[in-house]
Structure 1
């Protein structure tokens, strides 16, 4: 008998038909799903339900999903978040990623695509890629532990989202090697959505530089390689 607890997914959306559709689909694929229709309910129930992942609508009558995402991150909640957006605009997706979301998906969407994204984000959350050495990597004042998926500056934990950790893993696995945006996308996001995700990689790089660099405009560790992409220089 399998007594392993089910992975918990919280779906926050004000569309009752969509909520029921996702609940039926995710439950059928072995997830324990809690349905929530507004931001207030999200914050009231998150502690008791302790979700492993949140599917969060961008536009809610009781509040902005992006602002809710920021609030969760501000309170050190590192629960993976997939943002649902009805807008097919690059700027809107970038705002979602900058708020700390791990991924996004535009409405309307196929539930199979959402399931694939959920599984990808959860896979990244559970542990490091088998291709990454599970020994701490030291550079400057930083220590990155891929086994714990944790970055330290001295003895202080540097707060990073799951997506930022995954991107850092991709860099430390390929030190001093120029990596194109397409390569980083494949290593760090496990999907291939063409040009619209190139900008998402740039935004993730910017956020990672802000966490690592004394001067993000003159980066030491993550350098731009013009015409190619980016390079991690651990011995800079």
Structure 2
């Protein structure tokens, strides 16, 4: 299963360009033109990385990321913004950003940074097993009888809780 990258930018052409190049590099992508449904999406899906513009129509990207961090979301963030002053970059990092790229940008540089950040942020594997079900919490892979099953983040988290619970109830 490919790493999933969420792109949040109100420029439709840029979102399409990023989706094209990132999918060509082997990533799955989902584009959003505002932040209204992003938090719900993060709750339900296993997102490896977010690319966030600082200048969104109904929100400021750094404030959005700050709010996500306060709610416990730890998905890595690359800010992709025309805001290129030192203070703007510092605010991006202070809000919880992991990298900051200014527009105009080199697409190959962005792809390389995405790969590096995803690799760096991946954690040690926590594997939960019950009978023929195996759930790798870090990669969010679910195997049933050696066959991979695609589940949402919410479904995986529930499955992990059920497996943890059975260990205590049926020993």
TM-score for the superposition, normalised by structure 2 = 0.70
Pairwise CA RMSD: 1.4
Given the alignment, which residue of 119, 123, 132 partners 1:123? Answer: 119
Q: State how far apart, in whole Å, the 1-side matches of 2:64 and 2:15 are.
A: 18
Alpha-carbon distance between aligned partners in 2 of 1:49 and 1:55, rounded to the nearest angstrom: 16
TM-score, normalization: structure 1? 0.51
Q: Any idea what the Cα deviations from partners look like across 1:164-214, whole Å, max 9, x if unmatched?
A: xxxxxxxxxxxxxxxxxxxxxxxxxxxxxxxxxxxxxxxxxxxxxxxxxxx
Aligned to 1:67: 63
Q: Which residue of 2 aligns with 1:45?
A: 41
Query: What are the equivalent positions in structure 2 for 1:5-44 lying under 5 Å apart?
Result: 5-44=1-40
Runs of 5+ consecutive residues of structure 2 not aligned to the other structure? 126-171
What is the CA–CA distance in structure 2 between the aligned matches of 1:85 and 1:41, rounded to whole Å?
Answer: 21
Deviation at 1:81, TM superposition (A): 0.5
Instruction: List alignment gaps of at least 5 residues for structure 1.
Output: 128-146, 149-236
Higher RCO, 1 vs 2 (CA within 8 Å, ≥6 residues apart)? 2
Q: Counterpart of 2:73 in 1: which secondary structure?
A: coil
Q: Distance in 2 between matches of 1:23 and 1:31?
A: 9
